[in-house]
A and B are shown apart, each in its own frame.
Chain A
Amino acid sequence: MPYIQNSDADRAQMLARIGVTSIEELFAPIPKALQLDRPLAIDPGRTEEELKTHLAELGAQNVPAASGPCFLGGGTYDHGWPALVDHLMQRSEFLTAYTPYQPECSQGTLQWIYEFQSMIAELCGCEIANASMYDGASACAEAALMALSQTRRRKVVVSRGLHPDARLTMETYLKHVDAEVVEAPLRDGRTDWSGLVDGDTAAVFVQQPNFFGVIEDLDTPQALAAEHGALSVASVYPVAMGLLRSPGAAGYDIVVGDGQSLGVPMGYGGPSFGFFAARQASVRKLPGRLVGISKDREGRRAYTLTFQTREQHIRREKATSNICTNNALIALRGAIHMAALGPQGLEEVACVSRQRTLELVKAMEEAGFERAFPDAPYLNEVAFRLSDDEAVERLRGALRAEGIRAVVPVSCWYPELAGVFTLACTERVQPDQVLRLAEVAANAVAQEVSR
């Protein structure tokens, strides 16, 4: 039997030692009437070879965007990572360990979490960071809950430029604690905060750059939050921190985000990891696990989980969050990748992604495409506008037919923006691929006109 080592002889000996005569006796606590009297209707088992064949057949029905030119963004980006990351991820001492509740035999996990926290805090410009959240969307929801609890207010003001999954996740979470999400609209691609933040506001949420790739002004929402005693929260795209100032430096209370761009395969959207950075003074309100440095009995440096009295396994219904298992292993990926990048490497990835995007905008504009927000500054993702959604779908299809994965239509989240779509570049995109994209796009639109 796969993965089970007990032989029939072992089983017989073990049953005898227990003092029963059959396996069925061990299941006697399950009342007979509740026992399933048929086999589960799940395919028969497979050998390892048969399994690999089955998964290969299934996998062949996918066309991975990462295998060709990929201009898809919308929160997930086709960045690269060194082989070092993949190699270390398969270290089984990381892969098959549990949460480091026993610090003496988990110093490896605890030290890398401490290093992860330190690097995330540095990236965000904050004093502290936790050991990770599920993803960027749930990190936003947790930030909202923390702000509600800290301010005892019932409303959060959220930029409409925040990733739709994050906005919708926050809405789902907040309606269960009788709090509301108020959206700050976009004007020409940037958030318009006027008249929305007041004394009932627990937090203000901005995303940098926003869902359309637009670089937001960080000062306005931060100042509004500070003025009204609300927390300022920014969700950031980590790669952007290679060029843009950190929200922490701009005075933000909480900085969250999704770590996918830090060496994590796109993986159809998960698992990635969420990160959560804040001020040291708010440590007792923080969700999730935290690692700190302490000493052992000999006075040696030792790492341990700390401030556990915030957590569900101690505090139960009074915990700051219900999170237990987070996305540790993927956070380790992020830690290794950040260390592999270093300051210069991070800046280079941001620069090259931006340079390709400038080339893309130039080529697309020459091909007759118009930016949706022509005056808005951007980093490595840009919104364009066509006449309607059908035109966007045809463009997407034409590119796909040429093996180019591109175009995220936005109207499913933004009905007011019919015909708008985004394109993104990473450092993996080559200049000739940018030109090819524009050429195919131009042809697609030309065909449209001649039709």
Chain B
Amino acid sequence: MNLTPVPLLFEDSRPGRRCMVTAGADRASAVAGMPESELRGKPPALPEVGELDLLRHFTRLSQKNYAISTNFYPLGSCTMKYNPLVNEAIAAQPCWSGLHPWQDADDVQGALALMHGLAKDLGEATGLPGVTLHPAAGAHGELTALMVLRAWLDERGDNQRRTVLIPDSAHGTNPASCALAGFDVVTVKSDERGLLDADSLADKLGPDTAGLMITNPNTLGLFEEEIAEICRMVHEAGGKVYMDGANFNAIMGWTRPGDFGVDMMHLNLHKTMSTPHGGGGPGSGPICVTEELAKYLPTPQVVERGGRFEMATPEASIGRVRGYHGNFMVLVRAYAYVKRLGGEGLKRVAENAVLNANYLRVQVGEHWRIPYDRICMHEFVARPRKEMNDQGVHTMDVAKRLIDLGYHPPTVYFPLVVHEAIMVEPTETESKETLDGFAEAMAQVAQEAMAGDEALHAAPVTTPVSRVDEALAVKDPQLCFRCGS
């Protein structure tokens, strides 16, 4: 990593430095006829930096990151798999990137065919044939699906069902999306096996139940073995089942949510379908629903009519949930991924994701507690041993020490149902040697923790900065160069 501080662009700014120049600008003729009251005196004070210095600035910043291309990145629930380079090469072509969203359907038949084809493949993989590609991310997909649920209830004249049940191991987006869609959240406890407890679910189902949001495999990396019965119970109570598909990577080609009773789910194309995370997006969170619910999906949808593709609005659509037609350029990458792998390849993905996770689980389990220590799916959750906590070592110390050993830390302190959780998801694209290296690092950290080694509290020391004072950032907020300085 590049340890040298990089000044802010604003600090490197010098009046008159230029990068991008547009010829022929003449302010006086440009503003002729524009209302004086709406004109500004001078343009915004953006930084003034030359092209080479800009290149160095951002290149040096990039060198201050861990990324999949540089380091193992076993973030649980995030599916940090290899992002194939060919997808980037394809997406860079003007035949995709140069399309304007209001072009004639005749100009964009390739784009529409791609969206139609991707929707069809996602419908097949999930067993849920109604697909919208609009949502920009998983949370957006959840919200969209909950709006679909509401539309379905409204059409039945059912305004009593305002409650959505959510297991305590769920992602935070689940309850947050419920609140935005106007539903009340009731939390359902996990049982001692780390699974949704069918009995406590039965207690909470009632005439106010709109549905259940369930993650499967769940955030402990465990398949909800009673899922078919759970879906049946929710349906019997008059609700619908939503599945958070963040962990679909583990089961692709092995089982289909539509077949075991799920009514709606989202897919994170930036997880399962290999599109890059980009430091926090853009993602894409298509939702797949049953035939019954397809008529409520957002507008517009690609349809095929006599060999020609065009946009149409579903019969009882909830309306728009964003601008234009979805994160199209992400869809191009996901389509390329699905078409490269094919149906059989997608199944191999799940197999190797599960193989890698279990291989790592048994090795990490030699030194760390695995609260639910049995065959897992794509990820597992570990935690420090009591003896480590007694030495004053906590999960945060472990995470920071791993950075010094060259690994991006796993997801920590999530799921909430495991105290001091360390959630590891290796993905299918890592080699055995990389997994062995990580297991050795975890063993080393465990030994250091048992010995009360200072390195754990000092970590990280190999990074551009040491541990950051997060409280100070709230106490003395400096959120942008002008206001905070």
Beyond A98-B280, A115-B8, A271-B282, 11 extra complex contacts between A and B, CB < 8 Å: A11-B355, A14-B355, A98-B73, A102-B403, A105-B403, A129-B479, A134-B281, A137-B323, A295-B472, A346-B46, A349-B25
Q: A161 within 8 Å of B by Cβ?
A: no
Given contacts A60-B95, A319-B179, A340-B54, contact A40 B346 (CB under 8 A): yes
Q: B389 within 8 Å of A by Cβ?
A: no
Partner-contacting stretch, out of B200-208, B223-231, B234-242, B444-452: B223-231
A113 to B121, CA, bound (A): 35
Contact with B along A332-376 (1 / 0, CB 8 A): 100011111111111111111011001000000000000000000
In contact, A326 and B280 (Cβ under 8 angstroms): yes
Residue numbers in B under 8 Å from A86 (CB-CB)? 92
A58 to B181, CA, bound (A): 38
Contact with B along A50-64 (1 / 0, CB 8 A): 011011001111111
Given contacts A36-B256, A122-B45, A317-B175, contact A42 B483 (CB under 8 A): no
A289 to B468, CA, bound (A): 17
Choose among B113, B342, B466 the residue that contacts A42 (Cβ–Cβ < 8 A).
Answer: B342
Given contacts A42-B124, A94-B278, A405-B107, contact A377 B62 (CB under 8 A): no
A102 to B94, CA, bound (A): 36
Given contacts A34-B255, A99-B279, contact A18 B46 (CB under 8 A): no
Choose among B88, B320, B479 the residue that contacts A169 (Cβ–Cβ < 8 A).
Answer: B320
In contact, B150 and A176 (Cβ under 8 angstroms): yes
A81 to B46, CA, bound (A): 16
In contact, B336 and A55 (Cβ under 8 angstroms): yes
In contact, B6 and A354 (Cβ under 8 angstroms): no
Nearest CB on B from A34, distance (A): 5
In contact, A76 and B342 (Cβ under 8 angstroms): no
Nearest 4 CB-CB pairings of A with B: A269-B324, A329-B278, A64-B98, A269-B101
Partner-contacting stretch, out of A65-73, A151-159, A438-446: A65-73
In contact, B103 and A405 (Cβ under 8 angstroms): yes
Residue numbers in B under 8 Å from A311 (CB-CB)? 172
Instruction: Give 9 A-B contacts (CB < 8 Å), ordered by A residue.
Output: A64-B94, A90-B88, A115-B481, A127-B482, A292-B478, A317-B185, A322-B176, A329-B279, A342-B47
Partner-contacting stretch, out of A23-31, A191-199, A384-392: A23-31
In contact, A108 and B95 (Cβ under 8 angstroms): no
Q: A121 within 8 Å of B by Cβ?
A: yes
In contact, B282 and A328 (Cβ under 8 angstroms): yes
In contact, A270 and B222 (Cβ under 8 angstroms): no
Choose among B19, B110, B320, B325 the residue that contacts A61 (Cβ–Cβ < 8 A).
Answer: B110
In contact, B477 and A258 (Cβ under 8 angstroms): no
Choose among B27, B66, B67, B111 the residue that contacts A351 (Cβ–Cβ < 8 A).
Answer: B27
Residue numbers in A under 8 Å from B146 (CB-CB)? 176
In contact, B17 and A342 (Cβ under 8 angstroms): yes
A79 closest partner in B (C-beta): B22
Nearest CB on A from B17, distance (A): 7
Choose among A72, A98, A109 the residue that contacts B78 (Cβ–Cβ < 8 A).
Answer: A98
In contact, B107 and A93 (Cβ under 8 angstroms): no
Q: How many residues of B contact A (CB 8 A)?
A: 205
Residue numbers in B under 8 Å from A30 (CB-CB)? 223, 225, 251, 254-255
Residue numbers in A under 8 Å from B282 (CB-CB)? 134, 270-271, 273, 325-330
Q: B312 within 8 Å of A by Cβ?
A: no
Nearest CB on B from A5, distance (A): 4
B228 closest partner in A (C-beta): A34
In contact, B323 and A169 (Cβ under 8 angstroms): yes
Choose among A119, A163, A219, A295 the residue that contacts B469 (Cβ–Cβ < 8 A).
Answer: A295
A289 to B137, CA, bound (A): 14
In contact, B180 and A405 (Cβ under 8 angstroms): no
Residue numbers in A under 8 Å from B484 (CB-CB)? 292-293
In contact, A3 and B280 (Cβ under 8 angstroms): no
In contact, B179 and A134 (Cβ under 8 angstroms): no
Q: A132 within 8 Å of B by Cβ?
A: yes
Choose among B26, B254, B320, B354 the residue that contacts A355 (Cβ–Cβ < 8 A).
Answer: B26
A339 to B19, CA, bound (A): 8
In contact, B30 and A354 (Cβ under 8 angstroms): yes
Q: A136 within 8 Å of B by Cβ?
A: yes
Q: B293 within 8 Å of A by Cβ?
A: no
Q: A290 within 8 Å of B by Cβ?
A: yes
Q: B156 within 8 Å of A by Cβ?
A: no
Q: B295 within 8 Å of A by Cβ?
A: no
In contact, B323 and A63 (Cβ under 8 angstroms): no
Given contacts A43-B342, A243-B30, contact A5 B431 (CB under 8 A): yes
Given contacts A14-B355, A313-B172, A379-B34, contact A39 B347 (CB under 8 A): yes
In contact, A339 and B279 (Cβ under 8 angstroms): no
Residue numbers in B under 8 Å from A93 (CB-CB)? 62-63, 65-67, 69-70
Q: A21 within 8 Å of B by Cβ?
A: no
Q: How many residues of A contact B (CB 8 A)?
A: 204
In contact, A104 and B467 (Cβ under 8 angstroms): yes
Given contacts A102-B403, A122-B45, A296-B469, contact A40 B83 (CB under 8 A): no
In contact, B124 and A98 (Cβ under 8 angstroms): no
Q: A244 within 8 Å of B by Cβ?
A: yes
Contact with B along A1-44 (1 / 0, CB 8 A): 11111100011011101111001011111110111100111111
In contact, A339 and B431 (Cβ under 8 angstroms): no
Residue numbers in A under 8 Å from B324 (CB-CB)? 76, 135, 165, 268-270
Nearest CB on A from B15, distance (A): 9
Which of B9-54 touch A at CB < 8 Å?
9-10, 17-27, 29-35, 37-40, 42-49, 51, 54
Residue numbers in A under 8 Å from B355 (CB-CB)? 6, 11, 14-15, 18, 23, 26
Q: A186 within 8 Å of B by Cβ?
A: no
Choose among A43, A105, A294 the residue that contacts B472 (Cβ–Cβ < 8 A).
Answer: A294
In contact, B255 and A108 (Cβ under 8 angstroms): no
Contact with B along A264-291 (1 / 0, CB 8 A): 0111111111000000100100000111
A103 to B347, CA, bound (A): 35
In contact, A267 and B281 (Cβ under 8 angstroms): no
Contact with B along A115-136 (1 / 0, CB 8 A): 1011101110101110110111
In contact, A104 and B463 (Cβ under 8 angstroms): yes
In contact, B51 and A267 (Cβ under 8 angstroms): no
Residue numbers in A under 8 Å from B346 (CB-CB)? 40, 42
Given contacts A172-B319, A176-B150, A293-B473, contact A10 B432 (CB under 8 A): yes
Q: A200 within 8 Å of B by Cβ?
A: no
Q: A46 within 8 Å of B by Cβ?
A: yes
Nearest CB on A from B128, distance (A): 13
Nearest CB on B from A303, distance (A): 8
Given contacts A26-B355, A134-B322, contact A104 B136 (CB under 8 A): no
Q: B130 within 8 Å of A by Cβ?
A: no
In contact, A91 and B58 (Cβ under 8 angstroms): yes
Choose among B125, B323, B480 the residue that contacts A135 (Cβ–Cβ < 8 A).
Answer: B323
Q: A178 within 8 Å of B by Cβ?
A: yes
Nearest CB on A from B355, distance (A): 6
In contact, B479 and A271 (Cβ under 8 angstroms): no
Residue numbers in B under 8 Å from A350 (CB-CB)? 30
In contact, B260 and A34 (Cβ under 8 angstroms): yes
Contact with A along B175-196 (1 / 0, CB 8 A): 1111111100100000000000
Q: A100 within 8 Å of B by Cβ?
A: yes
Nearest CB on A from B190, distance (A): 15
In contact, B43 and A242 (Cβ under 8 angstroms): yes
Contact with A along B299-317 (1 / 0, CB 8 A): 0000000000000000000
In contact, B136 and A338 (Cβ under 8 angstroms): no
In contact, B176 and A111 (Cβ under 8 angstroms): no
In contact, B352 and A6 (Cβ under 8 angstroms): yes
In contact, B43 and A67 (Cβ under 8 angstroms): no
Nearest CB on A from B294, distance (A): 17
In contact, B35 and A377 (Cβ under 8 angstroms): yes
In contact, B44 and A241 (Cβ under 8 angstroms): yes
Given contacts A18-B358, A134-B140, A176-B182, contact A94 B473 (CB under 8 A): no
In contact, A59 and B93 (Cβ under 8 angstroms): yes
Residue numbers in A under 8 Å from B408 (CB-CB)? 98, 102, 105
